[in-house]
């Protein structure tokens, strides 16, 4: 397969609503630290959004809508032929027909967001959640409360991904399909505890306001 080009897309991932929670590893919990920490950069210790989280979520949303494989098994699509497999990669090595075309980079906080965090002296919030005893209407003494760490709403992250185009690929079709994935993400959630309102995000294009799905649909109209 001959590589025709690599398209780069940049933008901003905006945390809206009630904050974003992408869990990190729990090593040793110090006094006053959350039992359920978020993922942080190993050197700067600042919160970030792993590219794999965004890619995996968009993939799974598109699969639940379009992949028969996934709808039956609940597992990632392994057909090797559909748009999900072409763009995001095929899970079954024997059925791979082409290399995966998408790369999502880790999204680090924008300089503006880092400034806000520095001024406030915090870069995350700790939310305490209590499990309610249904019969007594009281908090369970033994189970709760638990502390969840999350990225505060209003935080922005520099977002980017790239798309490899091979000769014979239908570029416009890829943009339209990806646009749908980004739009589904904006209506669903990223990270954990989505049913409790976490993880509302919007990814916008380079201008900082056009939603990525609209931007990609415009791209699609331009290449055709």
Q: How many residues bind Zn ion (CB under 5 A)?
A: 5
Burial pattern 38-60, b for ≥16 Cβ within 10 A else e, equals bbbeeeeeebbbbbebbbebbbb
We find the least distance from the C-beta atom of residue 77 to Zn ion, in angstroms, to be 3
Query: Which residues 6+ apart lie within 8 Å of 25 measured at CB?
Result: 37, 39
What are phi and psi for residue 132, nearest 5 degrees?
-95, 130
Q: Which residue has the tokens 């639940």?
A: 64
Helix, strand, or coil (residue 15):
strand
Candidate segments 73-81, 99-107, 150-158, 184-192, binder of Zn ion by CB under 5 A: 73-81
Torsion of CA 53, 59, 63, 65, to 10 degrees: 90
We find the least distance from the C-beta atom of residue 51 to Zn ion, in angstroms, to be 21
Candidate segments 69-77, 91-99, 134-142, 206-214, binder of Zn ion by CB under 5 A: 69-77
Candidate segments 85-93, 110-118, 168-176, 216-224, binder of Zn ion by CB under 5 A: 85-93
Comparing CB distances to Zn ion, the nearer of 39 and 82 is 82
Binding of Zn ion by 20 (CB under 5 A): no
Helix, strand, or coil (residue 88):
helix
Return the structure tokens found at 139: 């908090």
Comparing CB distances to Zn ion, the nearer of 79 and 153 is 79
Binding of Zn ion by 82 (CB under 5 A): yes
Candidate segments 3-11, 28-36, 72-80, 195-203, binder of Zn ion by CB under 5 A: 72-80
Binding of Zn ion by 15 (CB under 5 A): no
Contact footprint for Zn ion (CB under 5 A): 77, 79, 82, 84-85
């Amino acid at each position: 397969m001959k590589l025709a080009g690599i398209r780069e897309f940049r933008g901003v991932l905006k945390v809206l609503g009630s904050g974003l929670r992408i869990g990190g590893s729990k090593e040793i919990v110090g006094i006053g630290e959350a039992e359920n920490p978020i993922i942080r950069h190993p050197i700067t210790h600042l919160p970030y959004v792993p590219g794999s989280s965004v890619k995996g979520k968009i993939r799974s949303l598109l699969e639940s809508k379009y992949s028969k494989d996934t709808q039956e098994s609940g597992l990632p699509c392994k057909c090797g032929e559909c748009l999900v497999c072409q763009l995001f990669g095929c899970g079954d090595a024997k059925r791979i027909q082409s290399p995966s075309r998408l790369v999502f980079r880790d999204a680090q906080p924008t300089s503006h967001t880092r400034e806000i965090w520095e001024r406030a002296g915090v870069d995350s919030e700790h939310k305490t959640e209590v499990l309610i005893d249904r019969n007594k209407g009281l908090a369970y003494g033994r189970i709760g409360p638990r502390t969840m760490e999350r990225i505060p709403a209003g935080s922005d992250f520099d977002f980017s991904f790239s798309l490899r185009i091979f000769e014979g690929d239908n570029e416009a079709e890829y943009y339209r399909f990806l646009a749908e994935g980004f739009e589904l993400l904006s209506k669903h959630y990223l990270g954990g505890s989505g049913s409790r309102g976490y993880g509302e995000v919007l990814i916008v294009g380079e201008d900082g306001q056009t939603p990525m799905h609209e931007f990609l649909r415009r791209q699609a109209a331009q290449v055709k």
